[in-house]
Structure 1
Amino acid sequence: MKNIKTKILGLAAIAAVSLALPSTGHAQIIQNGYVNVDWQFNAPLSNDFASKASGWGMNFEGGYYFPNNFGLGAFLAYHTNNEYIPRSTFPVGGTSSLTTDQQHSVFQLPFGASGRYRFMSGGLLEPYVGMKLGANYARISSDFYVLQAYEKTWGFYMSPEVGLNAFPFEGSRIGFHAALYYSYATNKGSVLHYHIDGLNNFGFRIGISF
């Protein structure tokens, strides 16, 4: 909870400082450029290891708009999903068993290239559709007693999204960003008797736009 409050306060501070800066005629930090900094909510799909939705994530993206409203750029995001597993007995090593409760966690760090097409520009609202492609680092872990079993994996990542940038302040290109996204990564891993073959997620992002 403390980390979430810190992130929200950080975003609020960035927005406050940005809005306090003087601007004229829809000036941008980089001509035809864009930057989004978002808090992220993520819900795993078809994942029995850590299936609880969470808001433990952020997304960073920047790029450049070419003629005809096509944009190309790069992104970096991270997210953690956790799930408590009640006390149960499960096999360990094929010849023994263990009785304990567990705390499961899946941490994901996707990064790579992004592209988007905005349907209009220069106004109050800029709706767009986008696609992210790249690599996904994932750490899959189970904590029990004072022990931890984990595996680190890499996979290919893809994520289509539909979003909206809003610029409500007259004469400024600093505003707000919102997006819905789906993501899929090819990461595979095994922790204890659990097996993961692909990571599917659905979620939304809310943040600031430059």
Structure 2
Amino acid sequence: MKTTKYLRIAALCTLLLALARPGQAQIFPKSYINIDWQVNVPLGKSFADKASGWGMNFEGGYRITPAVAVGPFISFHTNLQNIDRRTLYLNDGSALTTNQKHAVFQLPFGATGRYSWLNNSIFQPYVGMKLGACYSQFSSYYYVIKQYENTWGFYLSPEVGVSIFPNPNYRFGLHLALYYSYATNSTNMLTYKVDNLSNFGLRVGISF
């Protein structure tokens, strides 16, 4: 599965960043970088409705003031759903009886902004917003066949989180965040219709 490949690449990049990190307070002054593993829970009517941990988030920002930072982000996630054997009556008048596995792969990217407090303390909370585009692939696997549709949409994701630095003078610590995301991607594949993608999730990772 493509998500497994992405997870391996992301883990390797994280390890290389940690090994290459110089012994100083911060890699880039007036900036932050987060690398997160994430759990994603689909909300509402969804093509694949099972929560999963098959995803990661990467973002960075430059502090234009001590409290405000802006920068780019990219993340990816896959959610799955097993569907029991059933008969689908298709638009062309034919019928298909099969079990299925649905998958939704999401790849949002764009700009992120955040406002943070207590920037010289161990616990540094913030609120943030991500805006951008979202590529998604809706897939249905049945028998030895994969039917899929690629779509693009607008992406919006508010979040609240905290960065935890055991030594505030040395910016390397833990990152925790809760997020909601909404994307305008839609599909009308087989007998399934989805008008948008809404998700709730948790991110856990490192911050520096």
TM-score over 0.5 (shorter chain): yes
Pair 41,11 (structure 1): closer, same or farther in 2 beyond 3 Å:
farther
Unmatched segments (≥5 aa) in structure 1: none
Unmatched segments (≥5 aa) in structure 2: none
Deviation of the 1:123 alpha carbon: 1.7
Q: 1:106 aligns with which of 99, 104, 120?
A: 104
Contact kept in structure 2, 1:11 and 1:207, CA below 8 Å: no
Aligned to 1:77: 75
Deviation of the 1:48 alpha carbon: 3.5
Aligned to 2:206: 208
RMSD, matched Cα: 2.3
Return the letter of the residue paired with 1:117. Y
Aligned to 1:187: 185
Looking at structure 2, the residues matched to 75 and 9 of structure 1 have their Cα atoms a distance apart, in angstroms, of: 17
Equivalences for residues 131-142 of structure 1 within 5 A: 131-142=129-140
Aligned to 2:147: 149
Deviation of the 1:18 alpha carbon: 6.7
Aligned to 2:19: 17
Q: Deviations over 1:155-206 (max 9, x none)?
A: 1000000010011146421111010000000111111110110100000100
SS in 2 for 1:187: coil
Looking at structure 2, the residues matched to 35 and 70 of structure 1 have their Cα atoms a distance apart, in angstroms, of: 14
Deviates more, 1:36-45 or 1:84-93: 84-93
Contact kept in structure 1, 2:73 and 2:111, CA below 8 Å: yes
Looking at structure 1, the residues matched to 149 and 17 of structure 2 have their Cα atoms a distance apart, in angstroms, of: 38
Under a length normalisation based on structure 2, what TM-score does the superposition of the two structures give?
Answer: 0.91
Return the letter of the residue paired with 1:155. G
Looking at structure 2, the residues matched to 175 and 18 of structure 1 have their Cα atoms a distance apart, in angstroms, of: 16
Return the letter of the residue paired with 2:142. F
Moved over 4 A (4+): 4-12
Deviation of the 1:9 alpha carbon: 6.0
Q: Deviations over 1:61-106 (max 9, x none)?
A: 0011122411111100000000000100011243110110000000
SS in 1 for 2:195: strand
Contact kept in structure 2, 1:15 and 1:208, CA below 8 Å: no
Percent of residue pairs identical: 51
Under a length normalisation based on structure 1, what TM-score does the superposition of the two structures give?
Answer: 0.90
Q: 2:175 aligns with which of 174, 177, 180?
A: 177
Looking at structure 1, the residues matched to 109 and 14 of structure 2 have their Cα atoms a distance apart, in angstroms, of: 24
Looking at structure 1, the residues matched to 44 and 175 of structure 2 have their Cα atoms a distance apart, in angstroms, of: 28
Does 2:57 match 1:59?
A: yes
